[in-house]
Structure 1
């Protein structure tokens, strides 16, 4: 076991509680504020989600944006039921698998243990771009449940883009970590780097006032607000995206965009300790969460949830569930089959909820910017296994196997919306936080702050350093074990955001060490 000390300091991020309004918990406080202001103006949780979704694409552009994909769980209080909506990325119908030969150089250099591809063509550059779904997904939810005009909901994102994202110490750190790859694309370098190599704002004096020039993105969002979401798939924006991606050597056609459609589905209903977790079915981490939680219910008793034996049971269930996922899941039934990410959770004053995860996949996605639109593009092709003959093998016209895991849960008098960013670490974080809420009756703040483990990366189990002692001793007797501290960068255990409703009281918070994340309560208009 690596690591030999438990931290002596305690770091907390107070959650927020609202007695007469809704709450938004997001990985950027300014996006959460935009959502809370929509709620205060009389908007539904879905209206707030539209505002937060687009604002996050501006304020945290390397994690998500209009050119990405994702999924959401919705709870409708008037219907007393949950809905699942998937809008993941797809490979282009024109994609040529022969463009991605194996290099024989071992494992890939990014999130997944696939065999390496020549020039990392499935990881960076235009050939790694998949058909985006975020705009279609959020528009579908708004069309069905929204109350406020689409154009009004994009206004906060437009305002932030016109001002340009502030490059503080955290933004400079994130940009620096990917500077070499960003420098390969002239448009990405122009947006994020000085002199093609240094993060904008990297100097002490510049950092105070340095902002990204997101004027092209502001123009794109303004056009999208006026023309409507469908323009992204069949209008001027669609034409611009296809032209830009094609000129850079990618696979994206007008037909790909025009035929894209999000998928509504009944959620998975996962029974757990007398309550229910509602998760997104299909090519998400929802089925994997269901497998893990089912094993927990037989692996340890509810009254033992705080014991070392429970941590061993959770690690075992997670490892088994991931083994099944990697061996069997993938879009291998043609197009008919229904990291680096951001998540936000919303509850409005009526009790409607949205748990939404959106992503570009890798940090900065493909490390490619569309020059006509100012949008950072996804690298969804990396989600596919480049080796032939697998359920998730790379091919044309297939849905990507996503790690996203937005959920809604209910137990007793409490209901919660929860999710996280962090690639394969997402589901272990979401499931354990849900267990803390449902087994031990923790508040959302207590559950997110509580120490967790991760067992999504093969044989190794990684435990929070605060668990050093009887818990790590028990884990070490069964699994190869390492410990890690929770720090702002990188996140060892994913980055969650959740809201809870108990009676008429709403609360919410985000990962303690998320530098920008926070919960914001609605302040009702007088």
Structure 2
């Protein structure tokens, strides 16, 4: 018996020694953790690999999620000129490690000289492309002020250290991807047409994957922002260059507009979907309210039993989207100028009533759907990145120039692109913008007003703990892409990567089409939907979702959208 006890003792010692010497990756595999996709200490998911690497290095240096977000924002302004920017704006949703939440509105603002009918001709018709590819298409940029305010409130590392990686990328250059080369080549003719005497993003011959893109003027602009903070953009030489560019093309932004611009901290939209808490962006983003409305509209139905992209699932989600986008057209705008009925729109009784005329017998015709009504109410190419740090602070930011490469117009000497966000206003009630979205008085043009947006940066909690950080570009499809990604994880048990890669569909009330990605719906489902009166149209890619999931084991699992150069990095 004594010999047996000795053998047991030696065996236990052997197991203890073995445990300490087994590689961590083996232990992770044993626990069901994939060491290549799940990380404990932090994660960055964004639209360009060099920018993701910048964010990861900031986290490794001890920076928090906001520090990394600032560095990524400026790195994307260099590496993703289609949407990354200092000449645009966006929204940030923040959740601290203790559960505190906040949102920052750094959306562009209408210049003081703007007017309600500025894009109409003498007969009252909208002048084609005036709100898209002219100097008058640009709102006052908010991205630099937004990053300054975010850093002042939550950042840890020195401001200059967060700007330097972007300066290096611009001054020394970086290798471009196949996607970026294609975008640059496709837009070259318009760059030349709209930028006489400038050579930004233009070369002899076509761009090729692996070419080095150097942007010296942009590097100098970033150095001004590094050294002078907010004043390095809204005052001084860069402000002079921006205003000079405006004057050269009969634009509206003045030095006073730049000096008067300030981002706004706003109270988050909070909703619930089953056991999950949704923390998302308030107006002037329409995304947060619409997302919560969509989730509440489908909450009581058995989506899990029906399955991913099956006919019943698609029909329910489309009918919810039809009604939510109708509400968006009337009730959503800049809350500083328009009384947005937030509580009424999010009232569960109202949301349920909106779905009461949905029938399984046939598709509802959008012409029969109008914005809802309330008792006592009177009307008065974007990019996204998700970041979490080792402490559990989380940031979800969507930022944009609006169209791909914005207005396609560069600021001479400063090297950055101007936005064309003024197109997100309603140039004329009932006339759709470039995304086919229809608006009215709530989103009319007024001096100093922020234009309505679909951007939907979102953070999800479960049981009081961080669960998901999610968002996407995509114009009018942003809201539905975020909606479907959340449902994919919660209802269809998809991993984070599966959820962002899954094929999507979209409906926005008008036009009355169900837009689908190729392969999103099988032929049987398409036939069933068409037999009920749904018009199915094919669309290229829908959204480019970048998201992070917190696993039950406490690891961060990223989802980088395969539709672009999106990259997930962690450590």
- Short-chain TM bin: 0.7 to 0.9
Structure 2 equivalent of residue 72 of structure 1:
92
Distance 1:123 1:173 in 2: 21
Following the alignment from structure 1 to structure 2, what is the Cα–Cα distance between the partners of residues 417 and 462?
25
Instruction: State the match for 2:44 in structure 1.
Output: 24
Cα distance change on mapping 1:102 and 1:323 into 2, 3 Å: farther
1:443-522 equivalences under 5 Å are 443-456=495-508, 458-464=511-517, 465-482=519-536, 484=538, 490-491=540-541, 493-502=542-551, 503-514=553-564, 516-522=565-571
Q: Any gaps of 5 or more consecutive residues in structure 2?
A: 1-33, 343-380, 430-439
| Aligned mate of 2:401, from 313, 337, 360 | 360
Q: In structure 2, what is the Cα distance between the partners aligned to 1:433 and 1:312? A: 17
**1:331 matched to which residue of 2?**
334
SS in 2 for 1:410: strand
Q: Deviation per CA, 1:328-368, whole angstroms, max 9, x where unpaired?
A: 32238539999x01111011111111111110001111111
1:56-95 map, 5 Å: 56-78=76-98, 80-95=99-114
Q: Does 1:418 align with 2:470?
A: yes
Counterpart of 1:289?
291
1:321 aligns with 2:324: yes
Q: Which residue number in structure 2 is paired with residue 204 of structure 1?
A: none
Q: How far apart are 1:125 and its partner, in Å? A: 1.6
- Residue 30 of structure 1: how far off its partner (Å): 1.0
Look up the SS of the partner of 2:392 in the other structure.
Answer: coil
Aligned to 2:354: none
Summarize the alignment of residues 245-324 of structure 1 with structure 2, pairs less than 5 Å apart.
Answer: 245-284=246-285, 285-300=287-302, 303-306=305-308, 307-324=310-327
TM-score, normalised to structure 2, is: 0.79
* Change in 2 beyond 3 A, CA 1:440/1:332: closer
- Rounded to whole Å, the distance in 1 between the matches of 2:336 and 2:389 is 38
Question: Do the aligned partners of residues 208 and 269 (structure 1) sit closer, same or farther apart at CA in structure 2, a change above 3 Å counting?
Answer: closer
Aligned to 2:494: 442
Inter-partner Cα distance in structure 1 for 2:209 and 2:139: 36
Q: 1:397 to 1:44 in 2, by over 3 A?
A: same
Distance 1:332 1:517 in 2: 33
Change (3 A) 1:479 1:241: farther
Residue 16 of structure 1: how far off its partner (Å):
5.2
Contact persistence 2:392–2:466 (CA under 8 A)? no
Bigger-Rg structure (1/2): 2
Give 3-state SS (helix, strand or coil) of 1:219's partner: helix
Q: Note the 1:372-451 alignment, pairs <5 A.
A: 372-387=413-428, 390-412=441-463, 415-451=467-503
- Partners in 1 of 2:134 and 2:328 — Cα distance? 28
User: For the structure 1 residues 42 and 190, does the alpha-carbon distance in structure 2 shift closer, same or farther, using more than 3 Å as the test?
Assistant: same
> Deviation of residue 15 (structure 1)?
10
1:164 and 2:173 matched? yes
Instruction: Give the superposition deviation at 1:103.
Output: 8.2
Q: Which one of the candidate residues 186, 191, 196 is aligned to 1:182?
A: 191
SS in 2 for 1:398: coil
- The TM-score, its normalising length taken from structure 1, stands at 0.85
Aligned pair count?
A: 483
State the alpha-carbon separation in 2 of the partners of residues 208 and 277 from structure 1.
Answer: 40
Judge conservation of contact 2:39–2:570 (CA < 8 Å) in 1.
Answer: no
